[in-house]
A = this chain, B = another copy of it.
Amino acid sequence: MFNFRNDYHDLCHPAVLEKLKTLQEEGNIGYGYDPHCERAADLICDAIGERLPVHFVPGGTAANALALGFRLLPHEAVVSADSGHIVSDEVGAIEAGGHKIVTVETEDGKYDPEKLEEFLNTFGSFHNVLPGIIYLSNATETGRVYTKEELAEIRRVADRHELPVYIDGARMGSALTSEACDLTLSDYPKYADIFSIGGTKNGALYGEALVFGDKRLAEEFIYYQKQRSLLLAKGFALGAQFEALFEDGLFFDIAKTANAMASVLYDKLSEAGYAPMYPLESNQIFVEVEGEKLEKLAEGGQFEVIEKGAKSIVRFVTSYQTRPEEVDALIDILNA
């Protein structure tokens, strides 16, 4: 039986659990004011190469809602690619905070900077909202990644419109260790005013880090985080997880393993005549599968059906736990 449903069906990486265990006899202060959060922030800043404010939040939707909603004025909207996770996978969390999302059409989940610019130019009448912040994710919902030059281009558009940029890094690990991506963590503050580093989909039990490119942007953030019920009392447990992830580069090792397994799966799918829909860039693969095969596949393991049809679109996600046997089991069914 294979499990390609998602990259968060594991409990957490063993090293994360080990680290948590070491806290059991400690008596830590609450709400993130503990030495573990401090050290985790330090390790992350080491990886970035810059001292920046870092806050830990319980999950990915939380990271997005907090980063986007904190300083937006009521009449300001969030700009997103039409495929953005915030658009149709977070039950209107952004709107629940009072803000419209305005969407830019994309082909594959990545902004075309020119189209973004044109889109931003359509605003300015008081009958409609004003763009207030640009949301993008790397890797995107479609498994694509941005290059340095692409992010630089988007940054230029944002600057011309005096808009901050938030990068959703729910799958940052997979992006940064992708061969298609020439970015490192140290590039992020150039392109993003705020960005998240995803733990949940990369070996943590729960939690993401939010990094603020500008100290003043983070001021009083903890108030907002608590108001939204997203400041955990035992914040130290979040800190400890990110300590584990950023000691000795575990965060990147986990992602590399997931990407490597995606690469194996990608090649075998292609060989089996199931050419994936997009070039391989991270740990997500989208493939069209016809009706009967789909049923067989469903008996063999777990995965998500993105769109039902004569040929359905299915998604396979790999993780650091993916075993070669799982790939083989999947391919065997397709070849049968």
List A residues at the B interface (Cβ < 8 Å): 3, 5-6, 8-12, 14, 17, 20-21, 23-24, 26-31, 58-62, 64-66, 69-71, 73-75, 77, 88-93, 95-100, 126-130, 200-201, 205-206, 220, 222-224, 226-234, 236-237, 302, 321
Contacts of A226 in B (CB 8 A): 61, 90-91, 93, 126-127
| Given A62-B229, A205-B237, residue A96 in contact with residue B74 (CB < 8 A) | yes
Main secondary structure of the interface of A (DSSP, over half): loop
The 7 closest A-B pairs by CB, nearest first: A92-B100, A75-B223, A91-B227, A62-B229, A95-B100, A3-B27, A11-B23
In the assembled complex, the CB of A82 is this many whole angstroms from the nearest CB of chain B, namely: 12
What are 29 A-B interface contacts by the 8 Å CB criterion? A9-B30, A11-B23, A11-B26, A11-B234, A17-B20, A17-B24, A20-B205, A27-B302, A29-B302, A58-B58, A58-B232, A59-B229, A62-B229, A65-B229, A75-B91, A75-B92, A75-B220, A75-B227, A88-B127, A93-B227, A95-B98, A95-B99, A96-B227, A97-B98, A126-B222, A130-B223, A200-B233, A201-B233, A228-B228
Inter-subunit contact B73/A127 (CB<8 Å): no
In the assembled complex, the CB of A292 is this many whole angstroms from the nearest CB of chain B, namely: 24
Whose C-beta in chain B lies nearest to the C-beta of A66?
B229
Whose C-beta in chain B lies nearest to the C-beta of A233?
B8
**Distance, CA A62 to CA B228, complexed state (A):** 8
**Distance, CA A75 to CA B100, complexed state (A):** 15
**Distance, CA A5 to CA B236, complexed state (A):** 15
Contacts of A27 in B (CB 8 A): 3, 5, 9-10, 302, 321
Inter-subunit contact B220/A232 (CB<8 Å): no
Contacts of A17 in B (CB 8 A): 17, 20-21, 24
Contacts of A321 in B (CB 8 A): 27
Inter-subunit contact A127/B91 (CB<8 Å): yes
Partner of A90, one of B66, B73, B205, B229: B229
Inter-subunit contact B30/A8 (CB<8 Å): yes
Whose C-beta in chain B lies nearest to the C-beta of A14?
B24
Contacts of A74 in B (CB 8 A): 69-70, 96-97, 224, 227
Contacts of A71 in B (CB 8 A): 73
Whose C-beta in chain B lies nearest to the C-beta of A236?
B11
**Distance, CA A74 to CA B290, complexed state (A):** 38
Inter-subunit contact A227/B92 (CB<8 Å): yes
Contacts of A12 in B (CB 8 A): 24
**Distance, CA A47 to CA B72, complexed state (A):** 35
Contacts of A201 in B (CB 8 A): 233
